Structure 1
Amino acid sequence: MHGLNTAGNNSKSYVSTVRLSCSAWAKHDNRTAGELRQNLIEFMTVLCQRYDKHPHVKWMDVVNETVLQSGKWHHPKNGTEKWENPWLLLGNDTGHTLNPPLYIKLAFELANKNAPNTDLIINQHGGMGKLMWEKIKALVSYLRQHNLRVDGIGWQAHIDVGWEQEANNMKQLDTLIDWAHDNQLSFHITENNVWLRDDEKDYQAQAQTFEAILGLLLKKRNGGVVTWNVWNLSDRDSWKKKMKLEGCLFDRNYRAKPAYYALQQVLENPPQAD
């Protein structure tokens, strides 16, 4: 993936590692915890070593989607049709009040060892739910207590049109960015798109939502590193299940939507920094 680094106004690469969107065979197989652990070690080691040597690869998602919006750890589920996280089979650190999954600490140990030149990120889905983000904040503290480097947190930002107008959303995002910077963490919007769920598509409203998100990041640019990234550039290349929601900057014919030009405007004329 490629992201905009507003601290330097340039484009640098962003790599995701331990993600939870696994194939049916990975959800249905009979690997033991020991075999899963070995798979994780081999995968993380090779991936980190491959990308860490490239200077344009600046950030790496070490783990993604680890906490549900309820504040519970993302966990395995029966069958192969559900969104699940098989990695909890490796166990939890039951000696800590947070009870964090062992795969998270292992992933950061491997990334710390094999990606010394890359900033290491915890990425997260969902909205601005308090329970979820408090768990992520506690996870940062837990990893640092074990002398593991954590350089930033990310939020996917898969949101509906008008998200910025809903009560407290922007204020909570503002506060989350400030918390990250106050704790020596960069902050990343990693997969932004804006869904149009109504049959009659309001592309101007979509543009306003995109602009609000990027505008807030730009306001925070003096407090620490902030970056912004999209999930897909065009609706033609979007996730098949959500393609009809037209959440991207370009339409199915690769023509720029109003959102593209709105973002261009806010980049050329950024708001005053905090």
Structure 2
Amino acid sequence: MHVFVEGVGVLGPGLPGWQASRGMLAGRVPYVPAPTVLTASPLLPPAERRRSVPTVKLAMAVGMEAIVHAGRDPAAVATVFTSSSGDPDTIHRILETLASDQRELSPTRFHNSVHNAPAGYWSIATQSREPSTSLSHEDGSFQAGLLEAAAEAAVDGWDVALIAYDLPYPAPLDGVRRISDPFGIALLLAPQRTERSLARLDVAVSPASAEPTRMTDPRLESLRTGNPVARGLPLLAALARGADDAVVLPYRPDRRITIAVGPPCR
């Protein structure tokens, strides 16, 4: 599948946005981890802003950064939301409530527990009526989202925002499912080259014969292995370097995602 990147968004520890992070991802500037700051999107109405949970804040932040970077109207872009875990804090709070004597669930907690909650907040904030998909594939969630978004762009001819996000679980769930830090990635993908195009991606599924691409900085490599969405860091690094590159992402035990990254005119 051949698609074109028009915008990028990223938010994670020490990576506070695409423009501020490009040098670190390309290896030109030292990477320094720092806490991730999540804030409610100003695009949301006040009531929804108050109800925003961390996953919504993270998804909205990276998604809107990619849209603004591409100079696109968010109401005219299809979306693919992907996460391995949904909202871990909401899951924890619901289970905590169900394990107590007072088992009445908060309606806000309940509606934030569904996997497509960020997509709902997005449609409210942007007034978008374009197609939207929400999916999950455990540690391959970013990769599955990339395949879905690339297929929609290449086959259906849509402009698609891929919005991927994962956050840590609180204790005791973190003992079962360990995610190190909040991390989100967004890519605006288009089916054809335009004046906005930053790079061309040739995306394919291949046998698991090649080793996954790793980050050269050990701290970024630790982030890559510690958060499922951060499996996409090598793709961001290739985009940051801006040269012809090849990226291999782990997907399933018997499959890899291979991505040839090159200039949009290729």
Greater fraction strand? 2
TM-score, normalised by the number of residues in structure 2: 0.29
TM-score, normalised by the number of residues in structure 1: 0.28
